[in-house]
Amino acid sequence: MLRSFKSKGIVILLFIMGGVLLCCSQVKVIPEMKELIDKFPNCVQRTAVLEKYSEPGIVPVELRMCDMTKPIIKKVEEREGITYYTLESRVEKCLHSEMAAGTVRLFDMGWQDQKLVKFAWGGPKSGKVEY
């Protein structure tokens, strides 16, 4: 009976720990980044949001040329007062590079004071460059 009680206690403890981890692992996203994520699949809307929140020259023109879907925030970190979001998205169609279609792209986007101030290509997730 004691063994059964210990087994049930371990199971209950694991459920509690899992719930705590799930609650604590929620990524906090600023409203501007949320707006970008929501508009990301539509190239025209994505471009409008990027122009709204970023300074000229921060975001490369290539990000505005391809149809992309399924944006996912993979990581959030703070460095020197800038909040960086690592974003992953799949290229659906790209008129400038047919080989890019179907690849998964990685981006690091740095936000400060509701503005996109840093942008870095992480390249394709596969490591193979198509351009």
* Global confidence as pTM: 0.71
Comparing CA positions, the residue from 35, 95, 88 lying closest to residue 64 is: 95
More confident residue, 68 or 95: 68
Comparing CA positions, the residue from 98, 96, 88, 48 lying closest to residue 68 is: 88
Q: Are 109 and 128 in contact (CB under 8 A)?
A: no
Q: Are 118 and 54 in contact (CB under 8 A)?
A: no
Q: How confident is the model at residue 27 (pLDDT cuts 50, 70, 90)?
A: low
Comparing CA positions, the residue from 109, 115, 111, 106 lying closest to residue 82 is: 111
**Which tens digit of pLDDT belongs to each residue from 78-124?**
999 999 999 999 988 887 777 888 889 898 999 999 999 999 887 67
Token match 């040329």: residue? 65
Q: Are 92 and 68 in contact (CB under 8 A)?
A: yes
Q: How confident is the model at residue 128 (pLDDT cuts 50, 70, 90)?
A: low
Hey, where are the domains in the chain? 29-124
Quick one: tokens of 97? 């590079």
DSSP string, 71-114: EEEEEEEEETTEEEEEEEEEEEEETT-GGGTT-EEEEEEEEETT
Given phi > 0 = left and psi -120 to 50 = alpha, else beta, which region is 69? Answer: beta
Q: Percentage of the chain with pLDDT > 90?
A: 42
* Mean pLDDT of all residues in 7-33: 60
More confident residue, 28 or 82: 82
Instruction: Output the average pLDDT for the chain.
Output: 80
Query: In CATH, what is the architecture of 29-124?
Result: Roll (3.10)
Q: Are 46 and 111 in contact (CB under 8 A)?
A: no
pLDDT of residue 103: 86
pLDDT of residue 25: 46
